Amino acid sequence: MATFRFRFSPWYLAAGLPFGVTPATARVDVDGGQLTVRFGPWKVRTAVANVAGSEVTGPYRAWKTLGPAHLSLADRGLTCATNGQRGLCIRFHQPVAGIEPFGRIRHPGVTVTVEDVEGLAAALKAAGPS
Q: What are phi and psi of 2, to 5 degrees?
A: -110, 125
Residue % of the chain over a pLDDT of 90? 89
Say which residues have a Cβ less than 8 Å from residue 9's Cβ, sequence separation at least 6: 82, 83, 84, 85
Residue 19 is given by DSSP the state G
Please determine, for residue 112, whether its predicted confidence score (pLDDT) is greater than 60. Answer: yes
Please determine, for residue 129, whether its predicted confidence score (pLDDT) is greater than 70. Answer: no
**What pLDDT score was predicted for residue 101?**
86
Please determine, for residue 27, whether its predicted confidence score (pLDDT) is greater than 60. Answer: yes
